[in-house]
Amino acid sequence: MSSYGFPKALRLLKSADFQAVFANAPFRASHQHLLILSRANGLAHARLGLIIAKKNIRLAVGRNRVKRQIRESFRKHQQQLHGLDVIVLARRGLDECDNSAIEKMLAKQWQRIARKRDQANTKPPEQTQ
């Protein structure tokens, strides 16, 4: 049975980790209220980084609620995201969504990211001549 915790090993903590994803994020999922960037990390587990700007979600209460929702959703879906470094960027209006809407939105975006990763892994390598 796998663990569904959220220890430090499952977080992007260093600036270099974030920069690696920003520099090369082949798997993206965009939504009106958030953007998810991800790349393969060479590990057996997924890692999550959050960027919740004060510019987009003004009140600390809203930012904290959104971060809790994203972490909880990631924790539930981490098995399908194995081997990825994921950054979630909040956009304007995310704090106006209720918890169930955020959960549904994130579940759909996690599926999109996992599907894109799987498609990239099953494609035959490009042949150059």
The answer to whether position 101 is within a domain reads: yes
* Contact between 81 and 37 (Cβ < 8 Å): no
The domain spanning residue 69 has which CATH number?
A: 3.30.230.10
**What pTM, to 2 d.p., does this model score?**
0.88
The helix/strand/coil state of 12 is coil
The answer to whether position 36 is within a domain reads: yes
Range of the domain at 72: 10-116
The answer to whether position 127 is within a domain reads: no
The answer to whether position 2 is within a domain reads: no
First to last CA, the chain: 47
The answer to whether position 22 is within a domain reads: yes
Residue 120: what pLDDT? 87
Total domain count for the chain?
1
Residue 35: what pLDDT? 96
Q: What is the pLDDT along the chain (129 residues), one digit of tens a residue?
A: 456 777 888 899 999 999 999 999 999 999 999 999 999 999 999 999 999 999 999 999 999 999 999 999 999 999 999 999 999 999 999 999 999 999 999 999 999 999 999 998 887 666 555
Tell me the CA distances in angstroms from 9 to 13, 49, 128, one per residue in order.
9, 12, 38
The answer to whether position 3 is within a domain reads: no
Within a 13 Å sphere around the CA of 112, how many CA atoms are in the beta-carbon half?
Answer: 17
The answer to whether position 14 is within a domain reads: yes
DSSP string spanning 36-65?
A: EEEEE-SSSS-EEEEE--TTTS-SHHHHHH
